[in-house]
Amino acid sequence: GDLNYFFHLDRDFVLDASVTFQKWLPLVTICTIRAWVFYILIWKGQYMARDLRYGYLINQVAAFLHEINFCFLFRLYAIHPYSGLYCDGPICRLGLPHELLMLLLSVTMIWTIPTFLFILLRMHQKIIADTNSILR
């Protein structure tokens, strides 16, 4: 049957384009942007403080794993109303319980946050270390 609010048009015309876009864009970003960031952090990072460099490196590894998980293993459809209903990745096709799928997806989303907070706090400490601020 037809879906309300013309969502059948979305299903018929946008779903395939979105899945194709979600399949190829992460591959392009992993091979270009992520590779460039890793190159800078590993081989050209001597100008950064060691703790910040390691923090950024761990943050980028966590973001890389999240991108692999979200864009390749899960491949969720990101446009409403199907974003909570349609999952096309290999993990979704295994028939795992919904709770386990949500756990796997949320873990990779959440593990980027502590590394980002570490970087944020270390940058804050480095900025105000030489000041007379009461926040130091």
At 98-122, the pLDDT tens digits run: 888 888 888 888 988 999 999 999 9
**101: number of Cβ within 10 Å:** 17
pTM of the model: 0.73
Query: Tens of pLDDT along 4-42?
Result: 666 667 667 777 787 788 778 888 988 999 999 999 999
Under the banding of pLDDT at 50, 70 and 90, the label for residue 71 is: confident
Q: What is the DSSP letter of 6?
A: G
The average pLDDT across 45-70 equals: 89
- Other Cβ atoms less than 10 A from the Cβ of 11: the count is 15
Distances (CA, A) of 103 to 69, 96, 108, 109: 12, 11, 9, 10
In this model, does residue 124 exceed pLDDT 90? no
Which one-letter DSSP state was computed for residue 87? Answer: B
